[in-house]
């Protein structure tokens, strides 16, 4: 790949009589790109992990859409490891990419890399996860993360029968026992999801409709480092042995991400919950999710997981490509939010996309009809 990039940089220099901008022969976006052919420009794409399908889809979508627009792409996955991602981004800067699109493993760890990028005139687009503590984040493309948490909480209430899917009054009154899970604290999104969810759940905890028998209601107590499935399973195991072994029934679990949901469900099934909602005396609790990962879509189809939040990564990729193109043409990407995402140093102009809640009944209309999955993939629980 690096050879190809060097050739690309050389090609650009020959074609336009430019030495790529920045020092030491490194390329970089800056002002030189506006007149360049897309084929002479390279976008560095840094994704966090391949252990989650979501990020594989993001990487594929961003790469193919950038290539369709004529750009060269250097795509790397960081194996959920902070030093690996730092090295990969450093390497892309050295190789002279023109724009960086980064979904951070740890949103607080990339400030030095971003400083190097800025020195080379390379614009940085934070992809889905805000990069914090750096003034060198030029744009942010994401979903409306607070509304993801709100949607997850509403899906929990709907699953419990406290409300209907369209927000009307439900037939159940509670009280219900629930447990709360959150994402990785080094991911800015985790706080947005949890805050969004608690904006709905806290009043119901306060009035006794919902009870959290473990007492673990803070984001620190609920957090799951690196959004890891096994970590979530282990915490659920601990909750089940610590709080529920006296026969207390668990009715619902707020889960922020499908991988975490699958860890929770495995722990529950290993302890005798389920296997389906109709089984007694311990039916599986209502479990929420996020990302519409195919394994969880199958679980939802089978009545095991209750819901997920669909984030159409094709649309997110489109926004990232639009932002990269704007920078390369010396313009500014179009933001639809210039207030929400303060990264600790500045408010980063953002483009937020909407999300959709998916229950079993919505799989066909939302996921299959839109071409996100085929019916066969949903049946198999595996993407082709
Ligand atoms: C993303 C979620 C995803 C989570 C775990 C978050 O930053 O916004 O969609 O579930 O990371 O990968």
* 45 C-alpha to ligand 1 centroid (Å): 17
Q: Is the pLDDT of residue 8 over 60?
A: no
Q: What is the pLDDT of residue 274?
A: 79
Q: What is the pLDDT of residue 279?
A: 53
Q: Is the CB of 290 under 6 A from ligand 1?
A: yes
Band of the pLDDT at 278, cuts 50, 70, 90? low
The stretches of the chain forming alpha helices (DSSP H) are 2-16, 53-68, 82-95, 111-119, 145-160, 188-206, 219-222, 229-243, 258-270, 294-301, 313-328, 375-380
Band of the pLDDT at 6, cuts 50, 70, 90? very low
Q: Is the pLDDT of residue 52 over 80?
A: yes
Tokens representing residue 266 in the block: 């495995």
Q: What is the pLDDT of residue 11?
A: 42
Q: Is the CB of 129 under 6 A from ligand 1?
A: yes
Gap between the Cα atoms of 125 and 132, Å rounded: 12
Mean of the pLDDT values across residues 13-36?
Answer: 48
pLDDT, tens digit, for every residue of 355-380?
A: 999 999 999 999 999 999 999 999 99
Lowest mean pLDDT among 20-29, 33-42, 113-122, 222-231: 20-29
Q: Is the pLDDT of residue 29 over 60?
A: no
Q: Are 36 and 43 in contact (CB under 8 A)?
A: no
Tokens representing residue 316 in the block: 């997110």
* 53 C-alpha to ligand 1 centroid (Å): 11
* 103 C-alpha to ligand 1 centroid (Å): 10
* 23 C-alpha to ligand 1 centroid (Å): 36
Q: Is the CB of 128 under 6 A from ligand 1?
A: yes
Q: Is the CB of 187 under 6 A from ligand 1?
A: yes
Q: Is the pLDDT of residue 14 over 60?
A: no
- Closest CA to ligand 1's atom 9: 291
Q: Is the CB of 258 under 6 A from ligand 1?
A: no
CATH 3.40.50.2300 fits 145-311+358-380, yes or no: yes
Cα Rg, the chain, nearest whole Å: 22
* 228 C-alpha to ligand 1 centroid (Å): 11
Q: Is the pLDDT of residue 256 over 50?
A: yes
CA 258 to ligand 1: nearest atom: 10
Q: Could you tell me the maximum CA-CA distance found in the chain, to the nearest angstrom?
A: 76
The top-level CATH class assigned to 2-137+312-353 is: alpha beta
CA 54 to ligand 1: nearest atom: 12
Q: What is the pLDDT of residue 280?
A: 55
pLDDT, tens digit, for every residue of 99-150?
A: 999 999 999 999 999 999 999 999 999 999 999 999 999 999 999 999 999 9
Tokens representing residue 263 in the block: 């860890």
Q: Is the CB of 54 under 6 A from ligand 1?
A: yes
Q: Is the CB of 52 under 6 A from ligand 1?
A: yes
Q: Is the CB of 77 under 6 A from ligand 1?
A: no
* 90 C-alpha to ligand 1 centroid (Å): 24
Q: Is the pTM of this model over 0.75?
A: yes
Gap between the Cα atoms of 251 and 267, Å rounded: 15
Q: Is the CB of 228 under 6 A from ligand 1?
A: no
Band of the pLDDT at 35, cuts 50, 70, 90? confident
Q: What is the pLDDT of residue 2?
A: 40
Residue-averaged pLDDT of the chain: 91
Q: What is the pLDDT of residue 283?
A: 87
Q: What is the pLDDT of residue 57?
A: 94
Q: Is the CB of 186 under 6 A from ligand 1?
A: no
Delimit the domains of the chain by residue range. 2-137+312-353, 145-311+358-380
Mean of the pLDDT values across residues 272-276?
Answer: 74
Mean of the pLDDT values across residues 155-164?
Answer: 97
pLDDT, tens digit, for every residue of 199-220?
A: 999 999 999 999 999 999 999 9
Q: Is the pLDDT of residue 1 over 50?
A: no
Tokens 């406290």 found at: 162
Prior bond to 275 cis, omega within 30? yes
Q: What is the pLDDT of residue 33?
A: 85
* 147 C-alpha to ligand 1 centroid (Å): 14
Burial of 17 (0-12, 13-18, 19+ CB in 10 A): exposed
CA 187 to ligand 1: nearest atom: 7
Q: Is the dihedral of CA 88, 90, 93, 95 positive or negative?
A: negative
Q: Is the CB of 261 under 6 A from ligand 1?
A: no
């Amino acid at each position: 790949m690096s050879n190809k990039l060097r050739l690309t940089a050389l090609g650009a220099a020959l074609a336009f009589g430019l030495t790529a901008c920045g020092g030491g022969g490194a390329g970089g976006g800056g002002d030189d790109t506006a007149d360049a052919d897309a084929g002479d420009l390279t976008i560095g794409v840094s994704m966090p992990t391949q252990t989650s399908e979501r990020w594989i889809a993001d990487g594929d979508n961003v790469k193919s859409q950038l290539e369709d627009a004529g750009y060269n792409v250097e795509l790397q996955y960081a194996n959920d490891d902070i030093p690996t991602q730092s090295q990969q981004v450093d390497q892309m800067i050295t190789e002279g990419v023109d724009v960086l699109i980064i979904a951070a493993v740890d949103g607080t760890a990339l400030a030095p890399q971003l400083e190097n990028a800025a020195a080379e005139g390379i614009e940085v687009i934070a992809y889905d996860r805000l990069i914090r503590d750096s003034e060198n984040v030029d744009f942010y493309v994401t979903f409306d993360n607070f509304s993801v948490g709100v949607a997850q909480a509403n899906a929990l209430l709907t699953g419990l029968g406290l409300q209907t899917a369209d927000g009307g009054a439900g037939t159940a009154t509670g009280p219900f026992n629930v447990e709360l899970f959150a994402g990785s604290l080094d991911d800015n999104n985790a706080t947005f999801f949890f805050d969004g969810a608690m904006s709905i759940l806290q009043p119901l905890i306060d009035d006794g409709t919902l009870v959290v028998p473990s007492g673990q209601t803070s984001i620190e107590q609920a957090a799951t480092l690196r959004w890891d499935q096994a970590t979530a399973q282990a915490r659920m195991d601990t909750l089940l042995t610590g709080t529920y072994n006296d026969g207390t029934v668990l009715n619902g679990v707020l889960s922020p991400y499908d991988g975490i949901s699958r860890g929770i469900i495995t722990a529950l099934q290993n302890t005798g919950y389920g296997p389906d909602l109709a089984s007694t005396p311990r039916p599986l609790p209502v479990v929420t999710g996020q990302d519409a990962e195919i394994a969880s879509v199958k679980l939802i189809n089978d009545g095991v997981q209750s819901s997920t939040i669909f984030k159409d990564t094709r649309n997110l990729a489109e926004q990232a490509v639009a932002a990269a193109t704007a920078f390369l043409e010396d313009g500014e990407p179009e933001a639809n939010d210039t207030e929400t995402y303060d990264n600790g140093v500045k408010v980063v102009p953002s483009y937020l996309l909407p999300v959709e809640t998916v229950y079993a009944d919505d799989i066909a209309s939302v996921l299959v009809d839109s071409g996100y999955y085929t019916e066969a993939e949903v049946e198999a629980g595996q993407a082709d």
